[in-house]
Amino acid sequence: MAATQVGWIGLGSMGIGMSKNLQKHLSSTSAPPLIYTNRTISRGDPLKAIGAVAAESVGEVAKKSDIIFSCVSDDAALRHVADEIVASGNINGKVYVDCSTVHPDTSVAISKQISESGAEFVAAPVFGASAVAEAGKLIFVTAGPSTATSRIVPYLNGVMGRSVIDMGTEVSKSSLLKIAGNVCVISFMEVICEAHVFAEKTGLGPAILEKMLGDMFGPIIESYSKRVTTGAYVPEPGGKAGFDVQLAIKDIKHALNSATAAGTSLEVSEIALKHLQKAKSLVSDRPLDSSSIYGAIRTEADLDFFSDVCKKRDGMGSET
């Protein structure tokens, strides 16, 4: 029986870490090397350096692979990838696994498209930032046919992730759980940013607030706080956001749309969306992290968007 060939599409801030861990696993088990592609193929140089093989197109990856993973930026990108996979030729018996964060309706539509073409689709969005992806500690939320989810088990827990939440066969369910998780994450960030501005305006200061957050709520909440206190909410010129503000806006809009369809509301998410959009409008000439909520809230409290930490790092002078 021929060895399973695995392919990868999409090497953004999440995809590059995930695919590197996957290639390391394949190499350690003497499996065929990962075949990968990306819009900017040079993003795969770190993968190539550890033995993965570049492909010129999504279609080439699809033709050569038995199991195809993707992690792309948004719904439109996913639809484009799915179209190219279907157009690549006979995909009977293949499994397509998407790890992107998309609207549940998109997952359903892609699943239908792939299954009608003879393959199986698994929606497998992940929880965790790029550093977590690099460390192979993501949480996968999977949904799809059991015949497909069973085939991808060897590549998830202990390879790219630390746990798997099985949502059954309805692909919309994994997307909905991912959205629910995003509601929590963005709500945490909104509240933490508000608390930091409160601490600055009242004279408490960021250090003592961050210690309280860490001691009281643990390392995850403390890590959100550090995105504020280290200045990561607005990366240095030429830098890269840990989680880009535009992607956060996309995710919140998916959440609000899903909530409306279900007959409920997400008021904290609505406030967070307002702050993210304000941040993007105030600073449009450089990348912003999703935690740039902080900068927007600062301006509402008559503080500069850029904290003293940012100004010192970027040589902008201190705040008056």
Residue 242's pLDDT is 85
- Over the chain (320 residues), the average pLDDT of each successive run of 10 is 91 96 97 97 96 98 98 96 97 98 97 98 95 95 98 97 97 97 96 98 97 96 96 92 91 96 97 98 94 98 97 76
Q: Which amino acid is at 280?
A: K
Would you give the distance in Å from CA 142 to the centre of its chain?
15
Treating both helix axes as pointing N-terminal to C-terminal, what angle do 75-87 and 104-116 enclose, rounded to 10 degrees? 0
β-strand partners of 55: none
Distance of alpha carbon 238 from alpha carbon 231, whole angstroms: 14
pLDDT at 319: 45
Per-residue confidence (pLDDT) for residue 298, from 0 to 100: 98
Could you tell me which residues come within 8 angstroms of residue 269 by beta carbon, excluding any fewer than 6 positions away?
Answer: 183, 186, 187, 252, 255, 256, 259
Specify the pTM.
0.91
Q: How many alpha carbons fall within 13 Å on the CB side of residue 256?
A: 16
Q: How far apart are the first and last CA of the chain?
A: 70
Q: What is the pLDDT of residue 272?
A: 98
pLDDT at 131: 87
Strands 35-37 and 6-9, bridge-based pairing = parallel
Cα Rg for the chain, rounded, in angstroms? 21
Walk me through the domains of the chain, giving residue ranges and CATH numbers.
6-169 (3.40.50.720), 176-314 (1.10.1040.10)
